[in-house]
Structure 1
């Protein structure tokens, strides 16, 4: 199997149960994807409720985009049997972060919002 990130899988193709595990994880990923808006909204609301200082409309929009991008990435990984970041300890396993996800902590810090939850 390839050493690239897409060559790394959650289930080895040599595993006797690989086909069934992949089939089931694909179903779970597809069902969750159908609810991705609901998942994004729920996660965003939880973060907003945990950071009362997060009340700037621009920061809230950035948060929404960041959460949605993270959920989309996770669901893509589940549906396509892609291992999580660092699953084998190789740098090639790392999944690229979205632009919004990468920039969000800097913007929040620059706004003086502490990174703590109540």
Structure 2
């Protein structure tokens, strides 16, 4: 299973950019003993998230799966806001960030990393 975005994935992210901020949904399944490695990755990645204007909106451990087929429950969920798709792309291409990606790779056995586009009228006050 893929756990890291590839160059073609990042190119598609940019080519499909509707403009504006992007919220990235992260669904995470840890490899055996991967939770500690992911915590270390998260701690070190925070510097780059801040540098590129991103922020974690929510992070949590998976709990009771109410509607899911066998194997669809996730160990953790992370929701991260970036000011733009370009900001996300720049972050993951940063040489310093690339030095820590092996922590994420070794921590995960499976992942979903999906850009989202807001629905009109949702989240507006």
Q: TM-score, normalised by structure 1?
A: 0.29
Pick the structure with more helix per residue.
1
Greater relative contact order structure (CA < 8 Å, 6+ sep): 2
Max Rg structure = 1
Q: TM-score, normalised by structure 2?
A: 0.28
Pick the structure with more strand per residue.
2
